[in-house]
Structure 1
Amino acid sequence: MELMFALVIGALAGSGVYLVLRARTFPVVVGLTMLSYGVNLFLFSSGRLATGAQPIIGSTEQYSDPLPQALVLTAIVIGFAMTAFVVILALRSRADTGDDHVDGPQDRPEVSTTKESEGGQ
């Protein structure tokens, strides 16, 4: 169980970092979301992975820590707000520059198909 959980966290974090390093805005937003899912699972796993354990100390022999659960709930709310802000920021950047590159508009050489570029008259 722990190995599978660790592999899922690693896959989410690795995929998130890969997508954050892309040049377009949509993969960056998806990468940030996947990275936040991986961090949320990591925080949740820090409260011990136990099934049927109560979050109350003293009521049973085995308990789960309620603090990581509260941190994950807070992180979900903050992650949703961050995702909404980044989407609006990406839309504004697209409207202002006309391009969806993260680094702004890219200078690409224009390909001309006229006769002048072919050496004709």
Structure 2
Amino acid sequence: MRLAGAVLGGQLGIGIVCAALWGWADEGRAAGAALFGAFTAALPGFWMACCVLPRGRRAQAESMGRALLWGEIGKLVLTTGLFIMAALLFGPQLLPLLSTYAACLACYWLAMILTR
């Protein structure tokens, strides 16, 4: 769970930095969209971690498989819902939202590199 918290913190940190940069570049209009992009990246990943990680190493295979299935379904539903909400709220500012979302997803790669 500690690694999941570190990834979440990294994603939110990158989101704040991107929001500040987009806000500075676009006179504040795109900062909200960038923050929502970070939220769209962080919340589904944290959901998945909360579904799977508490089970531990000694979990039954069937229990772990069920947790992975429901975690992934929840992650997909959350991501889809958040992107629909983003399109409705931030239609003209999709570039800041998507670029921040992509930058926040890079935290997974960074976590894998740093923990090896």
Query: What TM-score does the superposition give when structure 2 sets the normalisation length?
Result: 0.53
Q: Does the aligned pair in 2 maintain the 1:13–1:39 contact within 8 Å?
A: no
Q: Unmatched 5+ residue regions in structure 1?
A: 51-57, 92-121
The offset of 1:38, in angstroms, is 1.0
Normalised to the residue count of structure 1, the TM-score between the two structures is 0.51
2:30 pairs with 1:29: no
- Look at both structures and tell me which one has the larger radius of gyration over its CA atoms: 1
Q: Percent identity?
A: 15
Alpha carbons 1:40, 1:72 under 8 Å: kept: yes
Q: Give the number of the structure with larger relative contact order, counting CA–CA contacts within 8 Å between residues 6 or more apart.
A: 2
Alpha-carbon RMSD across the aligned residues, in angstroms, is 3.1
Provide structure 2 residue ranges, at least 5 long, that are not aligned to the other structure.
55-59, 95-116
> Are positions 1:43 and 2:47 aligned together?
yes
Contact 1:43 1:71 in 2 (8 A): yes
Q: CA deviation at 1:86?
A: 2.2
Deviation at 1:62, TM superposition (A): 5.7
Larger helix percent: 2
CA separation of 1:75 and 1:7: change in aligned 2, threshold 3 A: same
Q: Distance in 2 between matches of 1:87 and 1:9?
A: 23
Contact 2:47 2:71 (8 Å CA) reproduced: yes
